[in-house]
Amino acid sequence: MIIGVPKERRPYEFRVGLPPSGISLFTAYDHIVYVERGAGVGAGFSDDDYTQAGAVIAYSEDEVLGRADVVLKFARPLAEELELLRERQTLLGFFHMEAARQEKIEVLMRKRITTIAYELIEDDGGYFPVLAPASQLGGRLVVQVAARLMQNDFGGRGILLGNIVGAPPPEVVIIGAGMVGGTAAATFALSGAHVTVLDIDLRRLQTLQAESSMSMVTMLATPYNIRRACSYADIVVGAVYVPGERAPIVLSREIISRMKRRAIVIDMAIDSGGCFETSRPTSHGSPTYIDEGVIHCCVPNLPGVLGRTGTHLLFTAAYPYLEAIAKMGVEKALQEIPALERGVNTYQGQIKHLNRLVDVGSSYT
């Protein structure tokens, strides 16, 4: 096989689909790996790092995508990238197809592209082994982002993220107790914030409370509880995720309109369409806007600016599946490994394991 690693072209995406340490995984089985010139710069990897590991440097995106049988990306391809793909290729990456434009799905179908979404790889126990570490990274990063946005110079209310003598700690509300929400809750609590976590699954809340050494309030995510918690919140984090589906709306405009002025809402589900009625995609260059007097941060792919950490995490988590593809090829790996097969979005002109396709009309798609 020929493996292609293109440079990511989405704004503020600094990660890369394969680090130099991953090249030998494929060359050990006599596969050829083409890496686009400069693909690893954002993650701190030079072209020399790749060539010394055994890769071949390609000098254009056309060359990488035109040669490859398997393309290793991080983010969903842009429209111009889709046009460069040739028929019957295989793509791996974090694709969030549930929030993609319909015409992009149609190109993949027409070209009979097989897409394997890392976020949908699921083992027999219901665990998402590649998504989980990426979600943990997002959960930690959201705390860093919130701390900055609460500063006066970023438009916030001038509140320290922490507990200091003589001043009350910030009130943080997290909706969703999965990997992103649970990690964020523990990190916020560790900083000294007063944390309230809501989820529709009582077992998740029980697990979070049992596993955390930090004090936090847990509530069932009923409409009454969500409304009440948001009324006193300084920060609200939306961390809901339904695999393969658009994120449900958990905060209405009416609830947001009743929040404190210059409170902060951070939509970590914006990659899947957003979970606040007032959400619209922003970017790291212009991360916030104000709606109903509340500061909104809705940056898709928020950890994209952690190029090196994110790249290492992806490779570590995806290693068993990439190794299976290197050993057996794509077709046999899909047949032999159910977890990998569950990650397939499109397969040679057919839709698989994708519950809903929507056009959210956002700048991200």
Looking at the annotation, which residues are catalytic? 96, 271
- Determine whether 168 is exposed, middle or buried from the number of CB atoms within 10 Å of its CB (0-12, 13-18, 19+): exposed
- Determine whether 235 is exposed, middle or buried from the number of CB atoms within 10 Å of its CB (0-12, 13-18, 19+): buried
C-alpha dihedral, 242 to 247 to 253 to 255, nearest 10°: 10
Q: What are the b/e assignments for 185-209, b being 16+ CB within 10 Å?
A: bbbbbebebbbbbbbeeeebbeebb
Q: Find out whether 45 and 36 touch, Cβ atoms under 8 Å.
A: no
- What does residue 156 show for φ and ψ, rounded to 5 degrees? -80, -175
Report how far residue 108's alpha carbon sits from residue 76's, in angstroms, rounded to the nearest whole number: 12
Q: Give the chain's largest Cα–Cα span.
A: 65
